[in-house]
């Protein structure tokens, strides 16, 4: 099947879609806090994970079972794009994040990450690929795997998989420790529990911190992470990340070149069911402290900085973080790198907030990770 042309829907079909959306949009708008409401842009997405904007009011959404779709301005879902590579849909794995190149309007290039199955035998790991979206937005063309996490591991968990393109064009990719291999987050001969940095063609920037170091993989930017499922650029162009702790100890960090963020040697969390992890330390010389942490865990997912004035000047520069566990949106007021105040928005939303993005229109968009997931727009309350 092919995607219908995005702007050739019949008037009857369009009106029917809008009518069907209205009751849920009105109900959703009742969930308000902090002077904001939500409206439903699209529904019927199966465990959506990543969101990108492709112009003319259209959005690209990934679904964890291995599909990528275009969402039309009126919320109509296109058919799954052709050309998506084989994805290992298992546990937390599947088709995960997506982002467009900074020059997408000219080159139609996008980047996406996913759980990549081993070529033979068992196991999987996180991979990052590039592709070109066809002019008719029905398929991915010229798909290239730019990076594949080493080693492959037999695991259903901790894929990480957030992509951020820096101002210089280089790509950051967050990688989980795969749950069963947490000690590997402290060694440089693997990509587990790391943030990596590569060029858009998959090559290694020569100024990466471990280039030329014996026994170290050159893609590594920072180490000592557990499971980073959120990442965003601040106004100054610096990378910030959100990271799952175990039972407690979720973190916000600002990963810097060559630095060690401590997992599992230090943590503000504990083992599932109780008991210390390792020596039970929260600090140790040579290991970085988080900028902010949560106890109990909120399971932080997508995150975005507010760069627009749509929600008032007081929100500009705030960091928004989705909670999977408690199903709300956290608004963090910042003083430099210090979190001055946290507000829980949409406390009655009742859906896992998987991704958070600011659109070209200045509005904030959310994806809810449910079997019948939704794409929501955050609106200032009137």
DSSP 317-346: T-EEEEESSS--EEEEEEETTEEEEEEEE-
- Residues 360 and 319: their CA atoms lie apart, in Å, by 17
Say if residues 68 and 60 touch (Cβ distance below 8 Å): yes
Q: Which residues contact 142 (CB under 8 A, 6 or more apart)?
A: 130, 131, 132
Q: Is 19 helix (H, G, I), strand (E, B) or coil?
A: helix
Tokens coding 252: 């916000």
- Residues 345 and 33: their CA atoms lie apart, in Å, by 5
Going by the DSSP 8-state scheme, the letter that residue 191 receives in this structure is -
Q: Which residues of 155-170 are buried (b: 16+ CB within 10 A; e: fewer)?
A: bbbbbbbbbbbeeeeb
Q: Is 239 helix (H, G, I), strand (E, B) or coil?
A: strand
Residue 191 appears among annotated catalytic residues: no
Say if residues 55 and 105 touch (Cβ distance below 8 Å): yes
* Torsion of Cα atoms, 191 then 195 then 200 then 201, to 10°: -10
CA 304 to mean position of chain CA atoms: 10
Which of 158, 191, 225, 244 is catalytic? The answer is 158
Q: Which residues does the annotation mark as catalytic?
A: 158
């Amino acid at each position: 099947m092919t995607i219908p042309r995005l702007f050739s829907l019949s008037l009857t079909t369009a009106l029917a879609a809008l009518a069907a959306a209205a009751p849920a949009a009105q109900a959703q708008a009742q969930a308000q806090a902090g002077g904001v409401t939500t409206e439903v842009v699209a529904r019927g997405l199966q465990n959506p994970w990543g969101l990108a904007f492709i112009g003319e009011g259209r959005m690209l959404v990934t679904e964890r079972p291995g599909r990528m779709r275009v969402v039309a301005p009126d919320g109509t879902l296109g058919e799954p794009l052709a050309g998506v590579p084989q994805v290992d849909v298992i546990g937390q794995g599947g088709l995960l994040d997506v982002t467009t190149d900074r020059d997408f309007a000219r080159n139609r290039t996008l980047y996406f990450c996913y759980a990549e199955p081993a070529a033979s035998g068992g196991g999987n790991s996180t991979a990052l690929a590039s592709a070109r979206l066809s002019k008719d937005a029905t398929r991915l063309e010229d798909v290239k795997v730019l990076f594949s996490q080493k080693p492959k591991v037999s695991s259903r968990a901790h894929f990480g998989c957030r992509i951020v393109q820096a101002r210089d064009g280089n790509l950051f990719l967050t990688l989980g420790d795969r749950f069963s291999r947490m000690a590997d987050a402290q060694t440089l001969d693997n990509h587990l529990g790391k943030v990596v940095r590569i060029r858009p063609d998959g090559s290694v920037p020569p100024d990466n911190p471990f280039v030329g170091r014996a026994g170290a993989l050159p893609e590594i930017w920072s180490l000592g992470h557990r499971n980073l499922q959120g990442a965003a650029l601040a106004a100054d162009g610096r990378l910030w990340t959100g990271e799952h702790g175990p039972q407690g100890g979720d973190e916000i960090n600002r990963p810097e070149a060559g630095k060690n963020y401590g997992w599992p040697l230090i943590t503000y969390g504990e083992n599932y069911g109780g008991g210390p992890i390792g020596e039970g330390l929260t600090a140790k010389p040579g290991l970085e402290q988080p900028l902010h942490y949560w106890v109990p865990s909120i399971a932080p997912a997508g995150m975005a900085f507010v760069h627009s004035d749509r929600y008032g000047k007081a929100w500009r520069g705030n960091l928004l973080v989705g909670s999977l566990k408690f199903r709300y949106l956290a608004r963090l007021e910042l003083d430099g790198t210090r979190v001055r105040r946290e507000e829980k928005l949409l406390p009655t939303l009742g859906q896992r907030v998987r991704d958070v993005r600011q659109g070209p229109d200045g509005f904030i968009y959310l994806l809810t990770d449910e079997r019948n997931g939704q794409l929501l727009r955050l609106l200032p309350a009137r």
